[in-house]
Amino acid sequence: MADESGHRGNRGSGAEAGHNNQRDPIIHDRLRDGSLKLYELEKELTPIDAIRVRREYIEQETGTTLDNVGTFSIDIDRVVKRNCENMIGTVQVPVGVAGPIRINGGHAQGSYWLPLATTEGALVASVNRGCSAITKAGGADARILHDGMTRAPVFATDSVVHAVQVCDWVTVHRDVLKATAESTTSHGKLSDIVTFVAGTSVFVRLEFDTKDAMGMNMVTIASAKVADLIAQGTGARLIALSGNMDTDKKPAAINGIMGRGRSVVAGVALSHDIIAKVLKTDAKSLHEVNYRKNLVGSARAGAMGFNAHAANVVAAMFIACGQDAAHSIDGSTCITTIDLTETGVYVAVTLPSLPIGTVGGGTSVETQQECLKLLGVAGSGTPPGANAKKFAEIIGAAVLAGELSLLGALAAQHLARAHQQLGRG
């Protein structure tokens, strides 16, 4: 509960957690002599006590005070079971809000306030300016291009002939593999199977419709069943359930081409007047910065993404809304394009890979749940999958806002000045 000043109490404090001055030293001694492991504390203590005792032990071992880490408002009973092992507390990340931003999407329709969790000064202010430009222009178009979470087991074969035989077997038995995969889940549907060969290695890229879940647990369990069936039917040896043709938590061309998670595109038409008044530049300069920086510069650098800082906005949204932060790297594969028009420019962002969900994982943590509710996407949608698609369109529009603002600042030669004014060193 909050006190009169509005500050949350220390949920991990000894006063609230039943501090036991006689018991705790004994537990610390057992931890030191190895008769009790840190990860075993929840077996002997309540979750709140286990967190406190573990934190106090680490404080003693390292000589570090962790008072702020030990202050939190979330209910940790579920967190210690589903989200974090060996928990000692939380790290608080400032959350700012940008907007409202008008979105004219296939699923997201209306005005939205964007929660952005970040410690990078100027980011929220920058996105906020982009939101202003987009809203003044009547809103961002946004559409889902593709939807599918992947897992790609890798198999070893005896020869290249055997490798091709495995691929042929998979093609012939597609329906059986689909039924096997879907027998493991009441929500997921196997939507595609594509095989790849590299010498004697065979990769089977399985793609699933995971509805409102990000779906990695779902597709991993289903893929294990499919992989066993392929091994039994072909004599190929399963080497790893993930063979990196997925590709998970790494920038990869295959995800940029075929998509992974939700693939989304967002765009907006900006008039000469809005470009001048909000972005403080002109259409020609905006277009040239994007061409020479995002397109030519990225190509010359061998980058997999062609954008200004898309992953910056994706990461801030992911952290605020309980997504797997490592997947924010997928935002780096964004392509930002600017077309000159008679009335100004049309700016678009294409995000081929957004592994996101509105149920499961970190979405159930109270603070992250509140941010999802702020966007109107918490929980399962109607029909199933609608909330995740809506969320993807919102993120796409947010990235568009971030790209617009940074490109505008670069075109107007304002980037360094903005960071200086906001005290960013």
Residues that are catalytic: 120, 324, 419
Report the C-alpha gap between 103 and 311 in whole angstroms: 20
The position carrying tokens 């074969």 is 157
DSSP H helix total and E strand total for the chain? 17, 10
Contact 350, 358 (CB under 8 A): no
Report the C-alpha gap between 15 and 21 in whole angstroms: 11
How is residue 88 written in tokens? 């000692």
Contact 322, 335 (CB under 8 A): no
- The DSSP annotation for 289-333 comes to HIIIIIIIIHHHHT-S-BSSSHHHHHHHHHHHTT--GGGGGGGGG
Report the C-alpha gap between 351 and 326 in whole angstroms: 16
Q: How many residues does the chain have?
A: 425
φ, ψ at 270 (rounded to 5°): -110, 135
Q: 243: helix, coil or strand?
A: coil
> In Å, how far from its chain's centre is CA 75?
22
* Residue 302: C-alpha distances to residues 256, 293, 297, 298, 299 (Å): 14, 13, 9, 6, 5
* Residue 247: C-alpha distances to residues 137, 151, 243, 362 (Å): 37, 8, 8, 21
Contact 290, 338 (CB under 8 A): yes
Report the C-alpha gap between 307 and 21 in whole angstroms: 56
Helices (H), 173-244: 174-182, 216-234
Contact 344, 286 (CB under 8 A): no
Closest CA to 410 of 297, 273, 286, 276: 286
- What are the residues whose beta carbons fall under 8 Å from the beta carbon of 106, sequence distance 6 or more? 142, 143, 144, 389, 393
Report the C-alpha gap between 3 and 29 in whole angstroms: 36
Task: Identify residue 45 by its one-letter amino acid code.
Answer: L
How is residue 352 written in tokens? 């081929």
